[in-house]
Amino acid sequence: MFEDCNALQFITLQYMIIALCGFMTSGKTLAGEALSEKTGIRLIDLDQYIEQKEGLKMEDIFKEKGEPYFRKREEECLKQIVETEDDIILSLGGGTPINPNCSAILKEKTRCIFLTCSPKVLSERMLLLQDGRPLVKNLLAQHPNSTKKQKLQILEHWAKEKLHEREPIYKACSIKTIDTSVWNIERILKHITMNHPYTDYEKSDNWAIIEKSVNDLIENNDIELKTPIEYVIGYICKALQEKNTDNER
């Protein structure tokens, strides 16, 4: 589990909710699945979570109950997740942060990362992956005789307009933006795992001793997924205290 994941990054990822936001087909679910496989941290896909609660596919929820109902359930389910979970990866729906209540939850309860992508690439992905995406299907249904090129142009224009509206909102609830226009999962995961609370230590003398301390815990099998974070922090503080004592002698 640990060979490709820096020990300190793993520990700090483990005790928080890492949320991935962005426009549809920006790669939230794929990145979440890869990060989950890399770290062993459980992934929850918000859209799938809602489908399970409703007993309906996303497309059927929109068709039978309408988008306003879906957005209401989306907020309720997001609240439920953050109140009952504390060490997960959460893949959000493209419109989740647009709800001010959801955006506030994400800011307060998660470390949210915005996956951005160019409208051109988004249009290609949306056309390819339109099944299960009612907003895309409904948009294209308004142009039944359009060619593939025209469909791409319609989707690109729509994505450009939506991104113009949504990008400031996505960024406002996120700690970092990662461009997924060129899909390189290793690069994306590297950027995600760089977002941990101890970043400031990288420029200090304390960085090496903190990293060694956490690696020692892992090598000695003292850390498991449910190890209390207080134990980890206490171990690190003790190591720092011992270093400071040695420096004073």
DSSP string, 56-108: S-HHHHHHHH-HHHHHHHHHHHHHHHHHH-SSEEEEPPTTGGGSHHHHHHHHH
Q: Report the share of the chain in percent with pLDDT over 70.
A: 74
For the cut 70, the answer to whether the pLDDT of residue 198 exceeds it is: no
Report the pLDDT value the prediction gives residue 125, as an integer from 0 to 100.
94
pLDDT tens sequence across 99-110: 999 999 999 999
Q: Which of 2-6, 50-54, 151-155, 174-178 has the lowest mean pLDDT?
A: 2-6
pLDDT tens sequence across 112-154: 999 999 999 999 999 988 887 888 988 999 999 999 999 999 9
Give φ, ψ of 175 to 5 degrees. Answer: -95, -15
Report the pLDDT value the prediction gives residue 98, as an integer from 0 to 100.
95
Nearest to 63 by CA among 15, 135, 5: 135
Report the pLDDT value the prediction gives residue 96, as an integer from 0 to 100.
96
- Average pLDDT score, the chain: 83
Q: Tell me the CA distances in angstroms from 155 to 33, 95, 147, 148, one per residue in order.
A: 26, 16, 12, 11
pLDDT tens sequence across 17-53: 899 999 999 999 999 999 888 888 899 999 999 999 9
| Higher-scoring residue by pLDDT: 245, 141 | 141
Report the pLDDT value the prediction gives residue 130, as an integer from 0 to 100.
84
pTM of the model: 0.74
Calculate mean pLDDT across residues 200-217.
62
Report the pLDDT value the prediction gives residue 233, as an integer from 0 to 100.
59
114 Cβ contact partners less than 8 Å away, ≥ 6 residues apart: 21, 22, 170, 171, 174, 176, 177, 178
